[in-house]
Amino acid sequence: MKYGIIADNLAERTIVQRTSTHRNAYAYTLLSGGLLLVLVLPFIGRPYWDDELFSVRTASGLNTMLDTFRQYENNMALYYWMLLGWIKLFGVSEIATRSLSLIFAILSLVAYQRLANRFFASNISFLSGLVLLLNPLFLCYSIETRSYSLMILLGIVSTDLFLRLLTQRKAWHFVLYGLTLSAAVYSHYFGALMIPVHAAVMLFWRSRPGAWKDMVMTWALVALSVSPLAIFRPASTEQINWIGRPDLKTAIAAAIHLFGSAGIMIALAGIWSYFRIKAPMRAGRAVRDLALLALTWIFLPLALTFFFSLLVKPVFQERYLVASIPAAALLAGHVMHKSRLSGWPIHWLLAVLLAFQAFNVHQTLDQKGSGFDQVTAYIDRNAGPKDMVLAYPFFRADHYSFYLGQQSPSKQYLSPVPIHSAPYLPGGGGRDPDPDLARLDSLSAHRDRSFLICNIGPREADGRQNRTWLPEIDKVLSRHYTHRDTIVFRPDYILPVRLIVYSK
């Protein structure tokens, strides 16, 4: 009877502890989501920049989206399908479309807590989650009309499922894992990098018998499911020709940004190295292997992309690697777990570094946006039926037309006049057609004023694959107009817009 009472008390205590842990996890998740909203909501309504406007244009209708897939690119196909439905429900405003990415970001925080709770106490999971939450890339892409927030979510979920499958063989877990990996590739080509990451992790992670056979079969099915991306390739292959070959400095900068800041990267690397070499290994094997998982998850995609860019074709862009951001948070959790065992107050050091990073994050978010809303409003107020609106590079005409349709859809005479005969990639990045300068000369002779929308800075088109025609356009316009005024809209934003007004 005595032992029965003791057993009952232990069982009751275990249930209470589990309930308390779950409550803490829910509370920390809600706190993380609330903090994310506080940080990003003040900036969610900023005007779109180039890539976002391309997303909105692509998902504006089924025919437009399918034509983009056929002609220009089929990357982010899953995201565009989701955005198409989202726009049908909520419209094309900045707040509406960015809310979809914000939902993915909130779900990423939830998924990260679930993954981290496999290894740490809920308080350490929360503190390490702040490394993810306060990463400038994570915050910027959490309110951007692109697929990067979805990439991060799918990277976390696929890794969580992968780790479960290493120790238990459940059919529905395999189905979910395969679907998640396929969705990651359809959300962005670079989602495929999660497969070599998981394969490399299996080389050192203790797994059940037969795990390799099951995983290889799953990866083969994933490859088959995403094969339409390769079979039905777009007609154009020039979308990423603007990317240059990276150097070591570029790769180091990308690694720093994946960690959030140089301070956090150096602190985590130094402390982890110290505990690895000097301190006694008190943690279990699962937590020790977690550090290797995190390092593999961060640096293997970076290295593969870097060397592919050097040896085959330049594709290195740090935003393509954002699915690795959660790995830095896991490494931070590992370091805090080890420091707790050794009596080191590492969480205070990370708290100070994160406080500085939070200040820098606000500055980064404050630069989001473009000047297209303001330049459109200015032209709407000042241009008349006898004036002409031009855009160079030509895809700027699509950006201006979007805001013109939002602000003054009835003023068709304010639509940009095309001075090109060949098609161009609406979002930029492709091969730009040459302007018809003779047509421009003829049109300018009969217009009172010309409003030329263009970039700010020395390069008006990509210097790697496109010639800059702005000087020639300026010469033609200057033959017909005596005055030339320049206005820059939103100079403090990431994408200012320059307007040159030619008048007689």
Conformation bin of residue 75: beta by default, left when phi > 0, alpha when psi is -120 to 50: beta
What's the pLDDT band for 11 if we cut at 50, 70, 90? very low
To 5 degrees, how large is the angle CA 399–CA 400–CA 406? 100
- pLDDT for 285 equals 60
What's the pLDDT band for 464 if we cut at 50, 70, 90? low
What's the pLDDT band for 350 if we cut at 50, 70, 90? confident
- pLDDT for 21 equals 53
- pLDDT for 242 equals 84
Burial class of residue 422, CB neighbours in 10 A (0-12, 13-18, 19+): exposed
CA 367 to chain centre: 16
List, for residues 33-61, the tens digit of each pLDDT value.
999 999 999 999 999 999 999 999 999 99
Which of 366, 365, 357 has its CA nearest to residue 332?
Answer: 357
The mean pLDDT of 424-441, rounded to a whole number, is 87
Phi, psi of 390 (to 5 degrees): -125, 160
**What secondary structure does DSSP assign to 462-496, as a single string?**
-TTT----HHHHHHHHHTT-SEEEEEEE-TTSSB-
* CB of 449 closer than 8 Å to CB of 388: yes
The mean pLDDT of 89-104, rounded to a whole number, is 97
Side-chain-side CA neighbours of 249 within 13 Å: the count stands at 0
- Residue 319 pLDDT exceeds 50: yes
What's the pLDDT band for 267 if we cut at 50, 70, 90? confident
The mean pLDDT of 366-372, rounded to a whole number, is 93
The β-bridge partners of 487 are: 499
- pLDDT for 186 equals 98
The mean pLDDT of 387-412, rounded to a whole number, is 93
Q: Which structure tokens are listed for 10?
A: 């232990």
Burial class of residue 288, CB neighbours in 10 A (0-12, 13-18, 19+): middle
Cβ neighbours around 7 below 10 Å, total: 10
Lowest-confidence pick of 171-175, 240-244, 448-452: 240-244
- Residue 16 pLDDT exceeds 70: no
Lowest-confidence pick of 69-73, 247-251, 321-325: 69-73
Summary mean pLDDT of the chain:
88
With H, G, I as helix, E, B as strand and everything else as coil, classify residue 390.
Answer: strand
Q: Which structure tokens are listed for 114?
A: 């679930």
* CB of 391 closer than 8 Å to CB of 453: yes
What's the pLDDT band for 2 if we cut at 50, 70, 90? very low
- pLDDT for 7 equals 37
Q: Which structure tokens are listed for 387?
A: 């004036």
- pLDDT for 8 equals 40
The mean pLDDT of 68-97, rounded to a whole number, is 96
List, for residues 99-143, the tens digit of each pLDDT value.
999 999 999 999 999 999 988 888 888 888 999 999 999 999 999
